[in-house]
Amino acid sequence: DRSTDRRFFGHPLALTTVAVTELWERMSFYGMRALLIIFMTAAIQEGGLGLTVAAAGAIYGLYTGSVYFFGLPGGWIADRLIGGQKAVWYGGIIIMIGHIILAIPFKSTFFIGLIFVVLGTGLLKPNVGAMVGELYSTEDKRRDSAYTIYYMGINIGSVIGYMICGYLQTTYGYHYAFGAAAVGMGLGLVFYKYSGHLIDGVSDKPKTPLSDKGIRLAWLIIGTFLVILTLVSSVIYTGTITFDPSVVGENVAYIFAVVFVAYFAYIFFNGNLNYNEKRAMGALFLICIASTCFWSGFEQAGSSLNLFGRDYTQRMWGDFEVPTGWLQSINSYILIGLSPFFAALWINLAKRMIEPSYSIKCAIGLVIMASGFIVMFFASQYAASGLKVSMNWLVATYFLHTVGELCLSPVALSAVSKLSPKRFAGQMMGLFVLTYSMGNIIAGLLAGQFDPSNVKQMPNLYLQIAIFCIVVGVVLIILSVKTGKWEKLAGKAPGTVS
Ligand code: GLN
């Protein structure tokens, strides 16, 4: 019985099945992601694709955006067709095939590999995230700390990915690094299978299965989609149609936002929700807004902050020159270090009955992340005056970003799992993962606005991000006085009032 199982740091052993599988999936994802831009922009003679920075940046944004967008159909497929367990398994296999294709040193297969990673991650990511919460009953107080452990696993995976793939790339070449990502995902799959008995009964069936006719129709649609995808990619591939990735990127941001609102509204109005479930969904909506704004600032790490690290930061540490890429992993190290502290903090506050609501924690997380950009505002002013600044500026920024991340990201995952109506578990997690997608694309568009050779505009950009996120955060803090009460209604009988 999982409710009394405390074998894994006070948690059911089943948490290892879910967290370790996701750890390896993230190792493969971040390991590959760390090299993606470098690979695309490296000259062909150096083994890269020889794309311009603008094209590579836009493809990168579209790719990361799509990876998370496909969480929505992925969640739906689990809820209505195959259940979360199978979705994670097949998703993992598709991801691994994608990395194997990337490891093949033919330039021509590169985009096909990426498409596999996108589709596989869509199936795996929301469903593995939803499964964590399904190990606990609504009353179980361990849910938040379970998500903190799970989130720590994500970051351990990403650090392993950065280190191993980064090393292999510089020593043996890109395709070995992509190969390592395939091996990582493979290890995750082996662990998932091997420890699968621990999650017996968790999401092993679709929650609201379709009728037989519906099932046939759904597979027909999925099949048609895959055929169209294959045709469109081959047409783009043969060069019959060309497209400008930057233009596509901008439009996709709007499309994703419309899809998000429409899907949310669809569940809200047509999901047969009772009064309490609707209130809880209201609280979740605010959390999704906080999450979107959060990632659009936070994800500057891979782009504008990365360039700032490369061009305007004094990276000597004694005689050693710190590689630019290392600066980004500061986030994961701080996160792993601070996670136990945050887990203890929430438990402590809960014991004193003063634990803030999910909504408030997320809104505060957004404000703390934004304050990191005030640090960058000053740092980039020094840089604009022609100085190379100390690495401590970026360290301070990443510290604030990480503290914000710990208030928001694992907390929001836990909130989604607790506040969503159970029959929509996968789809709601898919919707939440779509906030990553929107955040990543907006981040890309913001970063694309400035040109690294014109450092004078940098302080302004950072100040704008800071002010915007602080204003949204403060509004959300005020609104969360109300939505925090709504959260308490989740899972209660329809007649209960707050
Ligand atoms: N680091 C988190 C994860 O991989 C969040 C990623 C994101 O871009 N929002 O799950």
What is this model's ipTM? 0.96
| Cα separation, 60 vs 33, whole angstroms | 9
Say how many Å lie between the CA of residue 110 and the centre of ligand 1. 23
Q: Which of 422, 339, 359, 334 is nearest to 146 (CA)?
A: 339
pLDDT at 256 over 60: yes
Structure tokens at 473: 């955060």
| Cα separation, 326 vs 335, whole angstroms | 15
Backbone angles phi, psi at 153, to 5 degrees: -60, -40
Say how many Å lie between the CA of residue 341 and the centre of ligand 1. 20
| Segment 149-189, tens digit of pLDDT | 999 999 999 999 988 988 888 888 888 999 999 999 999 99
Query: What are the C-alpha distances in Å from 491 to residues 10, 220, 222, 417, 419?
Result: 24, 35, 33, 11, 8
| Segment 306-332, tens digit of pLDDT | 878 888 888 888 888 877 777 888 999
Please report the atom of ligand 1 found closest to the CA of residue 30.
4
Q: To which H or E segment does residue 161 belong?
A: helix 143-171
Give the residue whose CA is nearest to atom 8 of ligand 1.
436
Query: What are the C-alpha distances in Å from 408 to residues 95, 97, 269, 332, 353?
Result: 27, 33, 27, 15, 20
Can you give the pLDDT at residue 19? 96
DSSP 11: B
Backbone angles phi, psi at 10, to 5 degrees: 80, 5
Higher pLDDT, 478 or 61: 478
| Cα separation, 178 vs 166, whole angstroms | 10
Chain position carrying tokens 């690290």: 309
Helix (H, G, I), strand (E, B), or coil: what is residue 6?
coil
Chain position carrying tokens 């997320």: 362
Give the residue whose CA is nearest to atom 7 of ligand 1.
436
Q: Decide whether any atom of ligand 1 lies within 6 Å of the 436 Cβ.
A: yes
Q: What is the number of other CB atoms lying within 10 angstroms of the CB of residue 309?
A: 22
Instruction: Report the DSSP beta bridge partners of residue 314.
Output: 390
Say how many Å lie between the CA of residue 125 and the centre of ligand 1. 10
Q: To which H or E segment does residue 214 belong?
A: helix 212-237
- Can you say how many angstroms the Cα of residue 329 is from the centroid of all Cα atoms in its chain? 16
| Cα separation, 124 vs 282, whole angstroms | 26
Give the residue whose CA is nearest to atom 9 of ligand 1.
436
Q: Is-contact 322 391, C-beta < 8 A? A: yes
Can you give the pLDDT at residue 239? 63
| Segment 25-77, tens digit of pLDDT | 999 999 998 888 888 888 888 888 888 877 777 788 888 889 999 999 999 99
Please report the atom of ligand 1 found closest to the CA of residue 299.
8
| Segment 448-464, tens digit of pLDDT | 776 666 778 888 889 99
Q: Is-contact 434 261, C-beta < 8 A? A: no
Can you give the pLDDT at residue 17? 95
Q: Is-contact 486 498, C-beta < 8 A? A: yes
- CA torsion through residues 71, 58, 175, 166, sign: negative
Query: Candidates 436, 440, 441, 442: which one to mutate for ligand 1, based on the most atoms within 8 Å of Cβ?
Result: 436
One-letter amino acid identity for 343?
A
Can you give the pLDDT at residue 60? 81
Can you give the pLDDT at residue 242? 67
**Mean pLDDT, to the nearest integer, of 101-126?**
91
Q: Decide whether any atom of ligand 1 lies within 6 Å of the 295 Cβ.
A: yes
pLDDT at 104 over 80: yes
Mean pLDDT of the chain: 89
DSSP 492: S
Chain position carrying tokens 């203890």: 344
> Quick one: pLDDT band at residue 497, thresholds 50, 70, 90?
low
Helix (H, G, I), strand (E, B), or coil: what is residue 314?
strand
| Cα separation, 16 vs 199, whole angstroms | 10
Confidence (pTM): 0.91
Give the residue whose CA is nearest to atom 10 of ligand 1.
154
| Segment 220-247, tens digit of pLDDT | 999 999 999 888 877 776 666 666 777 7
Say how many Å lie between the CA of residue 436 and the centre of ligand 1. 7
